[in-house]
């Protein structure tokens, strides 16, 4: 299988002119299409920073991030925004749903930015929400949904743009055990049946146990990389 993501000597230093914090330290990582990878490590190890760099939400101090053959560190801000929109799905710990929008409208939002037609947006949003078990919550706003249901809307939204891969930052952190298991089951099924590539940052042992590859970070460096 081919690599969909490669980081090359990736480094991120915060506050370089005052009190430097080396968040990521020369990381080389290759992710193949279809992988289900967990990034683990203690708080402050660099997991979220690495996800943000891979997702183009932050720029590295040095090094490269190559996605599907494109070095995104060389893209202008506008081109990077467009690239993210077309290639990367995000699932955040805090859900980041728009409070005034329904489940359908939240999922449609990404496709609206892609200039998809209304019938196309509605059809795909409905299909995705049914796929994540929310057929009876299509017209509910976030405040009317449980945490687990909101996170499933977030997964549907992440899939809406037909991304090359999904980055999930502590996706189970705010969920109860049952909701977390349901979410992991959905993601595992998408990975197995549709070969969707997932990369998680997590402290959750349940996510780690589901991962087929576990990459451990300490002080911004990869200290182990195991397939299980």
CA dist 74 and 76 (Å) reads 7
Per-residue pLDDT reduced to its tens digit, 171-199: 988 888 888 888 899 989 989 988 899 99
Angle at which helix 177-194 crosses helix 147-160, to 10 degrees, equals 20
CA dist 105 and 108 (Å) reads 5
**Domain locations in the chain as residue ranges:** 3-227
Per-residue pLDDT reduced to its tens digit, 103-120: 999 999 999 999 999 999
Per-residue pLDDT reduced to its tens digit, 69-107: 999 999 999 999 999 999 999 998 888 999 999 999 999
Q: Which residue has the higher pLDDT, 163 or 1?
A: 163
**Mean predicted confidence (pLDDT) in 112-135:** 94
pLDDT for residue 141 is more than 70 = yes
Lookup: tokens for 114: 């892609």
User: pLDDT value at position 94?
Assistant: 84
**Residue 176 DSSP class:** -
CATH topology of domain 3-227: Rossmann fold (3.40.50)
pLDDT for residue 39 is more than 80 = yes
**Ranges of H-type helices in 99-176:** 103-113, 118-131, 147-160
Angle at which helix 118-131 crosses helix 103-113, to 10 degrees, equals 130
HSE (side-chain half, CA atoms, 13 Å) at 88: 25
CB proximity list for 34: less than 8 A, separation 6 or greater? 1, 191, 195, 196, 197
Burial 123-149 (b: 16+ CB within 10 A, else e): ebbbebbebbbbeebbebbbeebeebb
Pairing of the two strands 213-218 and 36-40: parallel
Inter-residue contact 200 to 211 (CB < 8 Å): yes
CA dist 103 and 117 (Å) reads 18
User: pLDDT value at position 90?
Assistant: 94
Per-residue pLDDT reduced to its tens digit, 145-166: 999 999 999 999 999 988 999 9
pLDDT for residue 1 is more than 70 = no
Tokens 């995705």 correspond to what residue? 128
């Amino acid at each position: 299988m081919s690599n969909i993501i490669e980081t090359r000597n990736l480094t991120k230093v915060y506050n370089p002119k005052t009190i430097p914090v080396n968040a990521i330290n020369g990381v080389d990582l290759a992710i193949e299409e279809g992988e289900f990878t967990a990034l683990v490590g203690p708080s402050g190890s660099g997991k979220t920073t690495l996800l943000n760099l891979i997702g183009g939400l932050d720029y590295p101090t040095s090094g490269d991030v190559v996605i599907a053959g494109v070095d995104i560190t060389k893209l202008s801000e506008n081109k990077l925004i467009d690239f993210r929109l077309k290639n990367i799905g995000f699932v955040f710990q805090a859900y980041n749903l728009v409070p005034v929008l329904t489940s359908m409208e939240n999922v449609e939002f990404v496709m609206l930015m892609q200039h998809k037609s209304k019938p196309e947006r509605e059809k795909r949003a409905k299909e995705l929400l049914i796929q994540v078990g929310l057929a009876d919550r299509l017209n509910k706003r976030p405040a009317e949904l449980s945490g687990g249901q909101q996170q499933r809307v977030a997964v549907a939204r992440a899939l809406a743009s037909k991304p090359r891969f999904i980055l999930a930052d502590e996706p189970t952190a705010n969920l109860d055990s049952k909701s977390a298991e349901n979410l992991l089951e959905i993601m595992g099924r998408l990975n197995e049946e549709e070969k969707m590539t997932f990369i998680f940052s997590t402290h959750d042992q349940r996510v780690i146990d589901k991962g087929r590859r576990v990459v451990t970070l300490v002080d911004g460096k990869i200290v182990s990389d195991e397939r299980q």
